Amino acid sequence: MLRFLARRFALALGTLFVLSVLVHLMVDTALDPLEDLRLSTSPNKATLIANRVAMLKLDQPWIVRYWDWFTQFIQGNPGIAWKSQQKVTDLMSGAIQTSVSLILMATVIALILGVLVGIVSALRQYTALDYSITFVSFVLYSLPIFWVAVLLKQFLAIGLNDYLADPEVNWVLVGVLSAISGLFWAGALGGDRNRKLLILGLATLVSFGTLALILTSGWLDKPSIGIVGIIVLGAASAVTVTLVFAGLANKRALYSALATAGLGVVLYYPLLYLFAFIPMNWGWILGLFVVAIGCGLGIGWLFGGSDRGVSMRGGAIVAIFVSVLIFVDRVMQVYPAYYNSNTIHQRPIATIGVETPNLGGDFWVQQLDRFTHVLLPTIALVLISFASYTRYQRGSMLEVLSQDYIRTARAKGLPERVVIVRHALRNALMPLAAIIPVDLVTLIGGAVITETIFGWSGMGKLFIDSLKNAEISPVMAYVMLTGTVAMLAALAADFLYALLDPRIKVAA
């Protein structure tokens, strides 16, 4: 084990060193730090050029520049971006935050959606639904992101804002969306022809009703979930979570899930008062979140009985769900003020930036503002990365479903839910363990095009800007950082795999 680790680390260091030499040489050759001065009409151009040549040691061989960079770097000083005279460490710390906050959300959403849709697609293999999902995911996969971004801005930001200013419901569109939703549920839930038709009709009607209610009741002007919404959604989540993870026959699990939802409902008003009297920050919110999960676990433990783990897990999941509902509800309450504020001009969905400059406002306003800014880039990233997760998950699920032990499980009479959730899904999730750590590299590496179009100055933007400015230090720091993360991620993936699959051993 130690030998394995030592070998991997030595290998990683060697690779990083070679990487640094190659990238430094290539970047050094490609960049022209004097470009802007060559066209200068300044009468003291000679001095400027001499000055820059001296500063960047352009009159010396490449190896001297590399050596200077290398010795600085291994002493923990990644240098400064010479043009803007900013420390690389300062540049990076802000950029990493921006990139992570943009991409983490998108990755999580894409992962959850991709896995769910992939499973549905695999379970309904070779049906119209499966073909449709395959078609849509390939279409999304092949979309160029700069184009998606511009379309999203046009329709979801400018179009939606125009609609909010002058709401006139397009009933045809509502009808089409409802029908698509109906078709999806009919395909996903399956069954014989009559059952499908029934689901189709019901799901279409429910979707249509919900959309119509949202669009005509003025909910969009003053959105909220409210105590009623939390009761209904909390109970629904309790039932769904129990249905998937424990089965409705497990009364203890059901009751603990319901009780957790109930506790959330009871705490709704006290929490609103807490939020009103104490200025919130993320420390508070995360603390409350942890307390909520603790409550969920505790309730599950109390109801527990012989199968405590299942009830506790259900309670915790419901607690997370209800907490998020209450949080979202509170954010929604500042929406009317936000919408009518002087800086927003009644156009809430933003096309650029991370936040509205000089908005003011409390914690909740800032969360809403972040949401209106992160919405479009997140959708753009999700649309594109979701497709690959769907394909991975579908493939691995199908492979698992054809295994002998699945047939055995079905043969011994286990309910289909247990076969799918416990026997198939767990094993089908394993390939993701290899993919997710590697995706973390993009988390640090940023998304160049998305960041540029939406005006987020994250890591991708930093990299491109530094190249444009012919600043080699931040480029090298970026390459070294992503290189290191990639190596660590590969290592982590190996370990994770060994942890999940007893057939695989980490060995030298």
Partner 1 sequence: MGKKRIISVVAALTAGALGMSACAAPEVQSNLNEETTLVAMYNEYMYSMNSLTSYGNNMTNVNLVYLTRDNFVYYDEDLNLQANPSYGTYEKVSDNPLKVKLTYADTAKWSDGTPVDAADAVLAWGSQSGVFNNVPSEQLADMYNDDYTMKETADGQVYFDTQIYGIDWITEFPEVSADLKSVTFTYSKPFADWEAYMLYFGMGLPAHIVGKRALGVEDATAAKAAVIAAFQNKDNSALSKIANSYNSDWNFTSTPSDPDLLVGSGAFVITEIKAKEYATMKPNEKYEGDHKAPVDVFTLRYNEDPMAHVQALENKEVQIIYPMPTADVLSAVQKLSDVEVFTDPEGTFEHVDLTFDNGGPFDPATYGGDAAKALKVRQAFLKTIPRQTIVDSIIEPLNPDATVRNSYNIVPGAPMYDSAVASNGMAEQYGEVDIEAAKSLLAEAGVKTATVRVLYSATNPRRQQEFKLIKESAEKAGFEIIDGGDEGWGGALGGGTYDASIYGWASTTTGITETASYYVEGGMNNYSGYKNSTIEQLEDQIGTSLDPAEWESLNNQIEKLLVDDAYGLTLYQFPGLTAYDTSAVSGVNPIALSPTFLWNFWQWEIL
Footprint (CB under 8 A) of partner 1, residues 111-130: none
Identify which of residues 354 and 432 has a Cβ nearer to partner 1 in the complex: 354
The single-letter DSSP state of residue 81 is E
Please report whether residue 302 would count as binding partner 1 according to CB under 8 A. yes
Give the distance from CA 24 to its chain's centroid: 32
Please report whether residue 281 would count as binding partner 1 according to CB under 8 A. no
- Number of residues lying near partner 1 (CB under 8 A): 95
SS (H, E, C) 296-317: HHHHHHHHCHHHHHHHHHHHHH
Residue 335 buriedness (CB in 10 A; 0-12 / 13-18 / 19+): buried
> Which residue in 263, 318, 374, 440 binds partner 1 (CB under 8 A)?
263
Please report whether residue 222 would count as binding partner 1 according to CB under 8 A. no
In terms of Cα–Cα distance, which of 387, 389, 396 is closest to 138? 387
**What angle do the packed helices 459-468 and 430-445 form, to 10 degrees?**
40
Please report whether residue 161 would count as binding partner 1 according to CB under 8 A. yes
Containing 80, the helix (H) or strand (E) segment is strand 80-81
Neighbouring residues of 9: CB distance < 8 A, sequence distance ≥ 6: none
Per DSSP, the residues of 420-447 read IIIIIIHHHTHHHHHHHHHHHHHHHH--
Q: Compute the least distance from the CB of residue 57 to partner 1, in Å.
A: 7
> Which residue in 3, 41, 168, 249 binds partner 1 (CB under 8 A)?
41
Distance CA 213, CA 206 (A): 10
Q: Compute the least distance from the CB of residue 440 to partner 1, in Å.
A: 24
Please report whether residue 8 would count as binding partner 1 according to CB under 8 A. no
Instruction: Determine the longest span between alpha carbons in the chain, in angstroms.
Output: 89
Find out whether 262 and 317 touch, Cβ atoms under 8 Å. no
> Which residue in 62, 269, 282, 405 binds partner 1 (CB under 8 A)?
269
77-106 positions binding partner 1, by CB under 8 A: 77-80, 82-86, 91, 94
Identify which of residues 129 and 295 has a Cβ nearer to partner 1 in the complex: 295
Strands (E), 367-497: none
End-to-end CA distance of the chain: give it in Å, rounded. Answer: 7
Q: Compute the least distance from the CB of residue 267 to partner 1, in Å.
A: 9
Identify which of residues 11 and 64 has a Cβ nearer to partner 1 in the complex: 64
Find out whether 147 and 155 touch, Cβ atoms under 8 Å. no
Residue 260 buriedness (CB in 10 A; 0-12 / 13-18 / 19+): buried
Identify which of residues 280 and 398 has a Cβ nearer to partner 1 in the complex: 280
Identify which of residues 270 and 413 has a Cβ nearer to partner 1 in the complex: 270
Residue type, position 446, single letter: G
Q: Compute the least distance from the CB of residue 298 to partner 1, in Å.
A: 13
Please report whether residue 148 would count as binding partner 1 according to CB under 8 A. no
State whether the Cα torsion 414-420-421-425 is positive or negative. Answer: positive
Identify which of residues 266 and 290 has a Cβ nearer to partner 1 in the complex: 266
Neighbouring residues of 323: CB distance < 8 A, sequence distance ≥ 6: 264, 288, 289, 292, 293
> Which residue in 16, 100, 231, 467 binds partner 1 (CB under 8 A)?
231
Identify which of residues 187 and 262 has a Cβ nearer to partner 1 in the complex: 262
Stretch that binds partner 1, among 15-23, 29-37, 407-415, 476-484 (CB under 8 A): 29-37
Residue 414 buriedness (CB in 10 A; 0-12 / 13-18 / 19+): middle
Find out whether 325 and 264 touch, Cβ atoms under 8 Å. yes
> Which residue in 114, 187, 262, 474 binds partner 1 (CB under 8 A)?
262
Distance CA 316, CA 353 (A): 35
> Which residue in 5, 6, 10, 51 binds partner 1 (CB under 8 A)?
51
Please report whether residue 50 would count as binding partner 1 according to CB under 8 A. yes
Stretch that binds partner 1, among 240-248, 261-269, 415-423, 435-443 (CB under 8 A): 261-269
416-475 positions binding partner 1, by CB under 8 A: 452-455, 457, 461, 465, 473
Distance CA 205, CA 137 (A): 26
Identify which of residues 1 and 39 has a Cβ nearer to partner 1 in the complex: 39
Distance CA 32, CA 471 (A): 9
> Which residue in 11, 13, 46, 176 binds partner 1 (CB under 8 A)?
46
Containing 86, the helix (H) or strand (E) segment is strand 86-87
> Which residue in 2, 192, 273, 306 binds partner 1 (CB under 8 A)?
273
Identify which of residues 128 and 276 has a Cβ nearer to partner 1 in the complex: 276
Report residue 81: phi and psi, to 5°. -80, 110
Q: Residues 341-380 vs partner 1: string with x where CB under 8 A?
A: xxx-x-x-xxxxxxx-xxxxxx-xx---------------
312-341 positions binding partner 1, by CB under 8 A: 333-334, 337-338, 341
Q: Compute the least distance from the CB of residue 452 to partner 1, in Å.
A: 6
Identify which of residues 94 and 190 has a Cβ nearer to partner 1 in the complex: 94
Q: Compute the least distance from the CB of residue 355 to partner 1, in Å.
A: 8
Identify which of residues 39 and 507 has a Cβ nearer to partner 1 in the complex: 39
Report residue 87: phi and psi, to 5°. -70, 135
Q: Compute the least distance from the CB of residue 359 to partner 1, in Å.
A: 6
Q: Compute the least distance from the CB of residue 402 to partner 1, in Å.
A: 41
Identify which of residues 56 and 400 has a Cβ nearer to partner 1 in the complex: 56
